[in-house]
Amino acid sequence: MDVRIGIIQTAKELDVELGADVGREQLLADIEGALSSPEGVLWLTDKRGRRVGVPSAKVAWVEVGETSDDRRVGFGAP
C-alpha cells in the first residue's frame, strides 16, 4: 500500500510504502482519526519498520493507493 502526503507550504510530498499486511479500510480509519484533531500526529510505519510522523495541522492532502510492481524510472516513465 502506498501513501502520499502533501505538506502545507512545501512543494514536495512524502511517499510512504506500507507493508502488504496493512488493510485499506483500517488505514483510512487511522488516517481519519489522526487528522480529526489539529493537535494530532499521523503516524505510519513503512515496510522496513521505520515510523514516520506528520503533525495533522501540516497535512494538506493524503492519497492512498495500491503498491505497483511496475515502477519505471527515467525518460520513459509516465
**Regions of the chain where pLDDT drops below 70:** 67-74, 76-78
The model carries a pTM of: 0.77
| Domain hosting residue 8, numbered range | 2-65
Instruction: Count how many domains the chain has.
Output: 1
- Is 20 part of any domain? yes
The whole-number pLDDT of residue 51 equals 94
The whole-number pLDDT of residue 66 equals 78
How far apart CA 48 and CA 40 sit, in angstroms, is 24
Query: Do β-strands 2-7 and 51-55 pair in parallel, antiparallel, or remain unpaired?
Result: unpaired
How far apart CA 53 and CA 40 sit, in angstroms, is 10
